[in-house]
Chains A and B, each alone.
Chain A
Amino acid sequence: MALASVTFFALALIAIASAVGVLIARSPIYSALSLVLNLLSVAGLYLTMNASFIGVIQILVYAGAIMVLVLFVIMLLNLDALPSPRSIGWGPILGFVLGIGLLAQLLYVMLTSFGISLEAAEPVTTAMAVENGSANTLGQILFTEYALHLQVAAILLLAATVGAVMLAQRRFA
């Protein structure tokens, strides 16, 4: 499927470019918009991997709900653009390189000691991907095998609701 590959690489490029944009934009609103673009292109990536349900949920929840909240905060708090960056010295760059090295080492140790192989047990076919990514399969598993996890998620969401109300209602007297 040549078209899927072309789309994949195009979306991957957009995703990386917009992720960099989130970091380097000096104005918070541009940063937030880059993040929206990033989330949308990741949704597109899910679609190229035949995970249509997850892809659409990604748009609905992340782009349609969470980023709206972020945009609200930026608009409500009237955040100004940051001043232009100072020149970066050698210290942070050295720290970054060493940090990457440490991360690679940690990952290597984890992969080898827990016996996790990076190769899939069996090659994934398109039919399998479509089957496993469908909402129906998800429902079959989510409400039987992972029923307890679902309730824990519900309690977490309940806590979030209560917390939001408590924060907004607080009187700073």
Chain B
Amino acid sequence: MEISLLSTSIFAFLVVNAMLLSASVLVYAERRVSGFMQNRPGPNRVGPLGILQPFADVLKFVMKEDIQPAASNTFIHALAPVLMVVIAMSVASLIPFAEGVVLLDIDVGVLMVLALTSVTVYGITLGGWSSNSKYSLLGGLRSAAQMISYELSMGLAVISVVIIAGTMSLPGIVEDQASGWAVLGWNAFRNPVGCIIFIVTAFAETNRAPFDLPEAEQELVGGYHTEYSGMKFGMFFLAEYVNWFVASFIIVTLFFGGYLIPFQPLLLAAIPALDGSLLLTLLQFGSLMLKVAFFAFLFIWVRWTFPRFKYNQLMDLGWKKMLPIALANTVVIAIGVAIFRSIF
């Protein structure tokens, strides 16, 4: 397998830039949708309908002074946001954007997603610890405990998908969902419990509401990034939005057929010339983006629908409810696959 380093670099560069662009789109979208849900206009002054707002935000981040507490640790204070951005971007390399269009095509793809996200904990705990502020440290600790508690259920939900697909490669998992009528081959229908568990844990892992305890304004001011300002805060912000976007991609890839177009086999049967053409790739990319847009919207929707958990409720949900359900689901799916596969 001969891939030129140059084309890989160009592709990787494109992915990073696409993530930067989508993060700014998401910032704008979140503020506008939040405004809509709260019956207020939201940002509408910078450019037509306020679409230049994210760029104004970036400019402001760059122009602001970088303040750090006197007793903080300079190197670790700077390392934390860098770590967050690098990890968020590298997870994006695993997403299959269309058939055959994936930057990092490896046999342990879905495991790599989990491994990289598990390293995110460092960014948050180090950011919280290095600031030497009580709010930051508490936010960092809470966040780390929360992320590791939900990582287990997430891992088990992923295992139930791997049992069905028989592979850990992300394109392999997408292709496995191509069978079945129209959309019924999607794992959301074959493994509904796993799907719900994964979506809930994805919310917890990205620290999004109702799991936003690490940065609960009313209790911890800004949580782990209370003492961050200027571009370093901007980088935490960027990483958060990229994580949210990538989480939507992973949800769609694992449970909603990834880049598959509904009725794809029928479409290919009707127009055989489409197979392997550039148009099909574009259609698949469009279908993926539509699905991802829905889940990105779901993240905002949930934020303004559910109140934040209390800390003990969060831990109870993670350890006493999600983990046993995820374990039971894995066993049920395994028995189901065993019966289904030995009969057919």
Contact = CB atoms under 8 A, between A and B. Distances in A.
Contacts, number: 58
A64 B111 contact: no
B107 interface: yes
B125 A75 contact: yes
A142 interface: no
Contacts of B129: 29, 75
B18 interface: no
A60 B111 contact: yes
Interface string A63-76: 11101100110010
B76 interface: yes
A53 B110 CA distance: 11
21 contacts: A29-B129, A52-B106, A52-B107, A56-B108, A56-B115, A59-B118, A59-B119, A60-B111, A63-B115, A63-B119, A64-B118, A65-B148, A67-B122, A68-B125, A71-B126, A72-B125, A75-B125, A75-B140, A75-B141, A135-B107, A135-B108
Interface string A58-101: 01100111011001100100000000000000000000000000
B332 interface: no
B112 interface: yes
A71 B122 contact: yes
B98 interface: no
Contact of A56 (B5, B76, B112, B122): B112
A36 interface: yes
A169 B300 CA distance: 40
Interface in B60-116: 73, 76, 106-108, 111-112, 114-116
A64 B115 contact: yes
Q: Interface of chain B, helix or strand or loop or mixed?
A: helix
A56 B119 CA distance: 12
Interface of B: 5, 73, 76, 106-108, 111-112, 114-116, 118-119, 121-122, 125-126, 129, 137, 140-141, 144, 148, 151, 168
Interchain residue pairs A-B with the least CB separation, the first 4: A64-B118, A59-B115, A60-B115, A56-B111
Nearest to A68: B121
A132 interface: no
Contacts of A59: 115-116, 118-119
Contacts of A68: 121-122, 125, 144, 148
Nearest to A72: B144
Given A68-B148, A75-B141, A134-B107, A60 B125 contact: no
A132 to B, nearest CB: 13
Interface size class of A (residues with CB under 8 A): 20 to 34
Given A29-B76, A53-B108, A68-B125, 11 more contacts: A52-B107, A56-B111, A56-B112, A57-B111, A59-B116, A63-B118, A63-B119, A64-B121, A65-B148, A75-B129, A135-B108
Nearest to B117: A64
Contacts of B76: 29, 33
Contacts of A65: 118, 148
Nearest to B113: A56
A65 B73 CA distance: 24
Contacts of A60: 111, 114-115, 118
A63 B120 CA distance: 10
Contacts of A72: 125, 141, 144
A60 B116 CA distance: 8
Contacts of B126: 33, 71
A64 B144 contact: no
B16 to A, nearest CB: 20
A43 B115 CA distance: 11
Contacts of B121: 64, 68
